[in-house]
Amino acid sequence: MGKILITGATGNLGSRTLDLLLKKVPSNQVAVLVRDPESEKIERFVKEGVEAHRGDYFDYNSLLRAFDGVEKVMLISAVAFTDRNTQHFNVIAAAKQAGVKQVIFTSIIRKENSNLILPEVTMSDLFAEQTLKASGLDYTILRNPPYLEAMNSFSGDALKFGGVRVPEGSGKVAAASLDDLAAANVAVLTQNGHENNTYHLSGSEASSFADIAEAISEISEENITYATISENDYLEVMGRPAVTNDFLLGWVRAINSGEFSETSGDLERLIGRKPMTYKEFFKKQISLSKVED
């Protein structure tokens, strides 16, 4: 097998993917693209023998150099509030020019034929999917749901607020943990037969914001209530920079309307076990926070 290169390897999903990959593949077959190869976030992996290439999605030549001799590129999608189209296009075009065989891309999950537009996310992810499919490269598209780890950023820290206060809606979300999504990345990177496929990596169980409040209440043995508030009040409670208002409301509206509620079974099939449920996730999170106190 040729080299595997992971982008975004200093981030939440990329670093977990790299960690798991190194349990399956010798480190001299693994490379990463990082903006700062001296970063302490990558130091441990470099010591293990992983090749770190300095590169930036915006710097086409740096991508070409990094992809030389690489068979598979794991493209962790670019961050929101940046020019994602240019970045994804550069990676795909450079992979093609450098002779890479397969690009694996983490996209956003949506319902079949969905009209959902999430600011900063859906249009650029769809553009990347289409660019990849048109490139002639082997592709695997891994449509990711909201991360379980991201749920607090939509509902607020329920234990701190004493409740879940969100705009009205009873839709559910089949969120998945970063560890399980990273394991799916590794399955695709290390197995044959995933070429030219699109997978819907939903968690195994969906929950509404009311379900989450109930679960946190049960687990923490505190009275965590669920209440609906207006979108304006919600934005005020969350206290984020105004520029992210549409982004945040877009996610919460999509969750509340059930956009991410379907459970496809793809994640479980890829990782060969049941993905972590939201109850298991909050149990772990609450017990960890007790240890830290």
Ligand X SMILES: NC(=O)c1ccc[n+]([C@@H]2O[C@H](COP(=O)([O-])OP(=O)(O)OC[C@H]3O[C@@H](n4cnc5c(N)ncnc54)[C@H](OP(=O)(O)O)[C@@H]3O)[C@@H](O)[C@H]2O)c1
Q: Which of 4, 105, 139, 146 binds ligand X (CB under 6 A)?
A: 146
Q: Which of 35, 54, 96, 111 binds ligand X (CB under 6 A)?
A: 35
Q: Which stretch binds ligand X (CB under 6 A): 73-81, 159-167, 183-191, 217-225?
A: 73-81
Give the residue ranges of DSSP H helices in 74-157. 84-98, 122-134, 151-155
DSSP annotation string for 154-212: HH--HHHHTEEEE-S----B--B-HHHHHHHHHHHHHSSS-TTEEEE---SS-B-HHHH
Q: Which stretch binds ligand X (CB under 6 A): 75-83, 163-171, 234-242, 276-284?
A: 75-83
Q: Rule CB under 6 A: say whether 142 interacts with ligand X.
A: no
CA distance 205 to 277: 6
**Which residues between 100 and 119 bind ligand X (CB under 6 A)?**
106
Q: Rule CB under 6 A: say whether 203 interacts with ligand X.
A: no
Neighbours of 39 (CB within 10 A): 13
Q: Rule CB under 6 A: say whether 54 interacts with ligand X.
A: no
Q: Least distance to ligand X from the beta carbon of 192, Å?
A: 25
CA distance 221 to 141: 40
Q: Rule CB under 6 A: say whether 150 interacts with ligand X.
A: yes
Q: Which of 45, 57, 226, 260 binds ligand X (CB under 6 A)?
A: 57
- Cβ–Cβ < 8 Å for 57, 63: yes
- Binding string, residues 213-252; x marks residues near ligand X by CB under 6 A: ----------------------------------------
Q: Provide the b/e sequence for 116-141 (b: ≥16 CB within 10 Å).
A: eebbbbbebbeebbebbeebebbbbb
Q: Which stretch binds ligand X (CB under 6 A): 130-138, 142-150, 253-261, 277-285?
A: 142-150
- Of 57 and 209, nearer to ligand X (C-beta) is 57
Enumerate the β-bridge partners of residue 147: 176
CA distance 234 to 180: 30
Place of tokens 């919600």: 234
- Of 7 and 220, nearer to ligand X (C-beta) is 7
**Binding residues vs ligand X (CB under 6 A):** 7-14, 35-36, 56-58, 76-79, 87, 106, 144, 146-147, 150
